[in-house]
């Protein structure tokens, strides 16, 4: 029996979420209004690029008016990585993309990036 779990996230920016999904090696499709005014009601369906012939998404993101939640059937989770580890990677990559995006918007560029032994990422941004 399928049981979908809805996990709350702090993800609020659809464009950064789309970039993050692509960076992690997935493809996506969106369902919802195409009007920018109603962009926050869009659902983002995520597909495994290795099995792009599959018609069913691996999971999807749903907007609740404040943030996106990830919706997945954890009983049928079929990715090669543990769901908790996947969530850590997703949130870290989203945070990274947010920092880079906000930095660029304020005139900064990334001058160095280093993955620390604990798995965190150290970034140096500089304004020219």
The structure's pTM equals 0.85
Task: Note the pLDDT of residue 49.
Answer: 77
Task: Note the pLDDT of residue 67.
Answer: 94
Interatomic CA distance for residues 97 and 95, integer angstroms: 5
Note down pLDDT in tens along the chain; length 128 residues.
567 899 999 999 999 999 999 999 999 999 876 555 555 578 999 998 776 555 789 999 999 889 999 999 988 888 889 999 999 999 999 999 999 999 999 999 999 999 999 989 999 999 97
What's the farthest any 2 CA atoms get from each other in the chain? 56
Task: Note the pLDDT of residue 36.
Answer: 55
Contact 58, 48 (CB under 8 A): yes
Task: Note the pLDDT of residue 42.
Answer: 82
- The 10 Å CB-count burial string (b at 16+, else e) for 28-65 is beeeeeeeeeeebebebbbbbeeeeeeeebbbbbbbee
Interatomic CA distance for residues 65 and 54, integer angstroms: 30
């Amino acid at each position: 029996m399928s049981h979908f779990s809805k996990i709350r996230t702090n993800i609020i920016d659809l464009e950064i979420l789309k970039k993050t999904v692509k960076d992690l090696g997935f493809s996506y499709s969106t369902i919802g209004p195409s009007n920018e005014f109603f962009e926050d009601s869009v659902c983002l369906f995520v597909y495994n690029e290795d099995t792009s012939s599959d018609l069913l998404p691996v999971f999807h993101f749903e907007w609740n008016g404040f943030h996106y939640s990830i919706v997945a059937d954890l009983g049928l989770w079929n990715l090669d990585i543990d769901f908790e580890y996947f969530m850590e990677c997703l949130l870290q990559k989203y945070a990274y993309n947010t920092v880079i995006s906000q930095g660029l918007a304020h005139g900064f560029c990334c001058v160095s990036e280093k993955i620390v032994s604990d798995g965190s990422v150290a970034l140096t941004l500089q304004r020219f």
